[in-house]
Amino acid sequence: MTDVQKLKAALGDIKTEDNPAIVRQKSRDFFWYSPILKRQLDHVTGDLIASPKTEAEVIRVLETCYAEGVPVTPRGSGTGNYGQAMPLSGGVVLSLAEFNHVKSVERGRVIVEPGAVLAEIDRQTRPGGQEIRMHPSTYNTASAAGFIAGGSGGCGSIRWGGLRNIGNVLGLRIVTMEATPRVLELRGRDLMKVMHAYGTNGIITEVELPLTAAYDWVEVIAGFDDYMRAVRFADLIANQDGLLFKEISTVAAPVPYDYFLRHRKFLKPEHSVVLIMVAPHAIDPFQALAAESKAEILFRSDAATDAEKKGLPPLFELTWNHTTLRGLRVDPTITYLQVLYPFPTHVESVEKMTRIFGDEVPGHLEFQRFDGNVCCSGLPIVRYTTDSRLDEIIKIHEDNGCPIFNPHRYTLEEGGMKQTDAVQLAFKREADPKGLLNPGKMIAWENPDFDLDSDKVYLFPGLQQIAAE
Amino acid sequence: MTDVQKLKAALGDIKTEDNPAIVRQKSRDFFWYSPILKRQLDHVTGDLIASPKTEAEVIRVLETCYAEGVPVTPRGSGTGNYGQAMPLSGGVVLSLAEFNHVKSVERGRVIVEPGAVLAEIDRQTRPGGQEIRMHPSTYNTASAAGFIAGGSGGCGSIRWGGLRNIGNVLGLRIVTMEATPRVLELRGRDLMKVMHAYGTNGIITEVELPLTAAYDWVEVIAGFDDYMRAVRFADLIANQDGLLFKEISTVAAPVPYDYFLRHRKFLKPEHSVVLIMVAPHAIDPFQALAAESKAEILFRSDAATDAEKKGLPPLFELTWNHTTLRGLRVDPTITYLQVLYPFPTHVESVEKMTRIFGDEVPGHLEFQRFDGNVCCSGLPIVRYTTDSRLDEIIKIHEDNGCPIFNPHRYTLEEGGMKQTDAVQLAFKREADPKGLLNPGKMIAWENPDFDLDSDKVYLFPGLQQIAAE
């Protein structure tokens, strides 16, 4: 058990917080999208929040916690969905939210501190005509390092692929968890050591991202009376090399009408939609394609009146995991999955899953580039009944060649590729020899003998016990 | 026969030129890359050059020529390779080179007059951080309307696909060839009526192009001891969604050493090369991939000394049809082909052709996006011997699933898809009822009964006769 007062004293003038209600709140993310994680993690809380504002302060927190043997779980804005930043064994939650300056903007690149909010980065790069390549639907709150440590892509992935594709992050500074923490600069392939590692093997203190041309993206909602027509239209436009999109997503009826409440005035219950962000100079040719595909244009931000636009969230807040969030606000019993529909059979796979599950698993696709080709990943809504039916739904997807990245698991391996990442494991040995960083998330570290091919769910022995009622 | 003096008088203060030597020079393009076109077209010349500087002057030239029944062949900078702008029946060569202002630059788009030189457009858009999406290797001389009427893609096609992909041209103003010429504005799908139509069905008087982010592209030459290793490396990097390239081209040994004379100091005879333009912020991750593929970096413009760079042409002047040009300067007996290696078997197809032809057809590929995927087209050097062997080489390619766009033909159909373009033919009926625009280039107009599936070569009956020696 962490001696909170001793730790506070040792941290001196570094900002800390030990009010249990606030600590608990800052120990949580959006894990409750999953009924399974909700049961497993709802009681989890840290003992102390430490909020360093500089790399030197990060180093002091780490060397202090290392000396005391206290676990440290880094956190950006807490917008994760699988408990990425939840301190399973308690200890210090290292909040990087206040270590957040944009340090420099150059042509094609920006250097920021870890807690810099993505939307704030763009506010500072846009005057020069530039913006970051991609962002999750939590753009307005998510932090740069949190996105890199816990995210995988988002709006912009239709053009640039995933965050882990080489070139989408240019550089990271990392502090290690050792008696005397080291500062390492990673570039090129070395970045893979820590990307999407949930902060289990180093603390990010600086991020260098590539920038691209900024545009006043036009938001479009195209409506179809049939979901597969929407999917085919999305696939058609996503493969137009001459058209510049930032986002192409499909959502099956009745989800848009039932859950997109502030956009409901543009929708009918039977509308399946394609949600699009397109460059202003591509709107004419886009309209030509929409007319040829008999898409019904339900909303265009560049043509809507101020009255129509009043109170609307940005369109990207209907996409990625905001689709699920909007559903949960209306119907807390739903949940979701994360599916990959591999190229070149992605449209067929979607059609097959749609036919098998119907309204039990209403479709939601995010089109994106993957190894040079356009395919789609899905975050379908699942009308949850039981854990075993959820497992069955997952199995049917996998049996049909659609891998699942299970959002109902808190470990890197089970939520990811279901295999050990030898590079990240080796780097954890180097950078976190005592295993104090974000305990319980890397199975390969906690239990090298665990069989990832079994049907067993990993249960971290260090997970805080649920208090007796 | 055109009455030149009468025509000059009728054109009044519009600039004209009738000096036969100059008229002949301005009636030619780079048709002589082809030994076949060289024989067929070498004697072709117009009767008069007219150089309007405004749309009103274009209209006056067209109405005058229409009244007199004089053919009009439009011309930009004359950088075509198949006689696109050569006046097969004589008459007026309508030079648009002096009608060339950049009219307006906005975020994401530029509006120019037809004769605007591509490099000049970029000179005016670069201060705002923008440049045109793609350009041929004749960037420093080619005109905007000439590129659209006679070109198909170039540097930038690795990112944006071909010029005819929807979105890569935004708008065109067209003047028709009628008693009272009309001015039409084309956008969206209507642009297809005149794009790549060699000016056979309307004269372009204004061009609206999309712009993209401008970078100080880093030029790289990567060397390999085996051509297929070069091809595989090019394919690998072309499919990295997170890396930003403007150009990826491969050239088989011994072409680089033998023909790239000003770059010879970086090359050895056994070097097959990949020619690359990469964004400065992508150079680190690019280098990581190059190291993994054991590419030998022979040249990097950002690392070369001023002494090394002295006298070097820009790297794009080693690519596309400049590869052929550099070959012809050293060995005037060579020629070339234009091949498509369709996705997803493009690398296999290249390997097969390389094995079949060896040094008779040294490889030269241009990687580009095509319907959403990366594939490559080739402009292989051909060590020409006879017309019948050239036909045989073409046939072997086609029999192996590699379509040829024959650069030894002066008609739209034979140099292209070998089929009638019904849209362009219908538009010619509307816009050029007398058939006076660029006669002899659209077989569907000249001889609707000609069988494009036959092995016969079309011979335009109106082609000027070769004068008796």
How many DSSP H helices and E strands does chain B contain? 17, 19
Test A107 with B280 for CB contact under 8 angstroms: yes
Contact list in A for residue B242 (CB cut-off 8 A) is 160-161, 165-168, 210
**Residue A357, H or E segment:** helix A346-357
C-alpha distances out from residue A134 to A118, A151, A235, B99, B242, Å: 9, 11, 20, 41, 11
Test A161 with B241 for CB contact under 8 angstroms: yes
Structure tokens at A177: 């968890």
C-alpha distances out from residue B304 to A304, B218, B294, B299, B309, Å: 53, 11, 20, 7, 6
CB atoms < 10 A from the CB of B119, how many? 16
Q: Does B365 touch chain A (CB under 8 A)?
A: no
Residue among A98, A89, A245, A85 nearest A151 (CA): A85
Test B242 with A165 for CB contact under 8 angstroms: yes
Q: Does A411 touch chain B (CB under 8 A)?
A: no
Q: How far is B4 from chain A (nearest CA, A)?
A: 43
> Which of B213, B239, B372 shows the shortest C-beta gap to A371?
B239
Chain length of chain B: 469
Q: What is the DSSP string of B27-63?
A: T--SGGGSHHHHHHHTT---SEEE---SHHHHHHHHH
Structure tokens at A113: 């501190």
**From the candidates A191, A246, A281, which should be mutated to test the interface with B, based on the most B CB atoms within 10 A?**
A281
Q: Does A342 touch chain B (CB under 8 A)?
A: no
ipTM over 0.85: yes
Sign of CA dihedral B328, B330, B331, B332: positive
Per-residue pLDDT, A469? 42
DSSP code of residue B144: H
Test B213 with A129 for CB contact under 8 angstroms: yes
- Tell the residue number behind the tokens 């092995």, with chain if given: B455
User: For every one of its 469 residues, what pLDDT tens digit does chain A have, with 9 covering 90 and above?
Assistant: 679 999 999 999 999 999 999 999 999 999 999 999 999 999 999 999 999 999 999 999 999 999 999 999 999 999 999 999 999 999 999 999 999 999 999 999 999 999 999 999 999 999 999 999 999 999 999 999 999 999 999 999 999 999 999 999 999 999 999 999 999 999 999 999 999 999 999 999 999 999 999 999 999 999 999 999 999 999 999 999 999 999 999 999 999 999 999 999 999 999 999 999 999 999 999 999 999 999 999 999 999 999 999 999 999 999 999 999 999 999 999 999 999 999 999 999 999 999 999 999 999 999 999 999 999 999 999 999 999 999 999 999 999 999 999 999 999 999 998 999 999 999 999 999 999 999 999 999 999 999 999 889 999 999 998 765 4
Q: What is the pTM of this model?
A: 0.97
Structure tokens at A17: 């917080």
Per-residue pLDDT, B201? 97
Per-residue pLDDT, A467? 61
| Residues within 8 A of B (CB atoms), A 273-292 only | 279-282, 284-289, 292
> Which of A166, A280, A287 shows the shortest C-beta gap to B243?
A166
Structure tokens at A397: 């997807």
Contact list in A for residue B188 (CB cut-off 8 A) is 284-285, 287-288
**Cβ atoms of residues A287 and A302 within 8 Å:** no
**Maximum Cα–Cα distance for chain A, whole Å?**
69
**Nearest-angstrom CA–CA distance, B384 and B365:** 19
Q: What is the DSSP string of B170-234?
A: -EEEEE--SSS--EEEEEGGGGGGTTTSTTSS-EEEEEEEEEEE---PEEEEEEESSHHHHHHHH
C-alpha distances out from residue A334 to A249, A271, A274, A380, B300, Å: 20, 20, 21, 10, 55
Residue among A51, A154, A182 nearest A379 (CA): A154
**Cβ atoms of residues A400 and A349 within 8 Å:** yes
Q: Does A302 touch chain B (CB under 8 A)?
A: no
Test B167 with A244 for CB contact under 8 angstroms: yes
Structure tokens at B172: 């065109």
Q: Does A189 touch chain B (CB under 8 A)?
A: yes
**Which residue in chain A has the smallest CA separation from B157?**
A241
User: For every one of its 469 residues, what pLDDT tens digit does chain B have, with 9 covering 90 and above?
Assistant: 679 999 999 999 999 999 999 999 999 999 999 999 999 999 999 999 999 999 999 999 999 999 999 999 999 999 999 999 999 999 999 999 999 999 999 999 999 999 999 999 999 999 999 999 999 999 999 999 999 999 999 999 999 999 999 999 999 999 999 999 999 999 999 999 999 999 999 999 999 999 999 999 999 999 999 999 999 999 999 999 999 999 999 999 999 999 999 999 999 999 999 999 999 999 999 999 999 999 999 999 999 999 999 999 999 999 999 999 999 999 999 999 999 999 999 999 999 999 999 999 999 999 999 999 999 999 999 999 999 999 999 999 999 999 999 999 999 999 998 999 999 999 999 999 999 999 999 999 999 999 999 889 999 999 998 765 4
**From the candidates B281, B368, B370, B371, which should be mutated to test the interface with A, based on the most A CB atoms within 10 A?**
B281
**Which residue in chain A has the smallest CA separation from B242?**
A167
Test B170 with A287 for CB contact under 8 angstroms: no
**Residue B364, H or E segment:** strand B364-370
Q: Does B128 touch chain A (CB under 8 A)?
A: yes
Q: How far is B72 from chain A (nearest CA, A)?
A: 31
**Nearest-angstrom CA–CA distance, B415 and B421:** 13
**From the candidates B159, B166, B195, B374, which should be mutated to test the interface with A, based on the most A CB atoms within 10 A?**
B166
**Nearest-angstrom CA–CA distance, B134 and B74:** 22
Structure tokens at A40: 């497993």
CB atoms < 10 A from the CB of B450, how many? 16
Q: How far is A218 from chain B (nearest CA, A)?
A: 13
**Which residue in chain A has the smallest CA separation from B235?**
A372
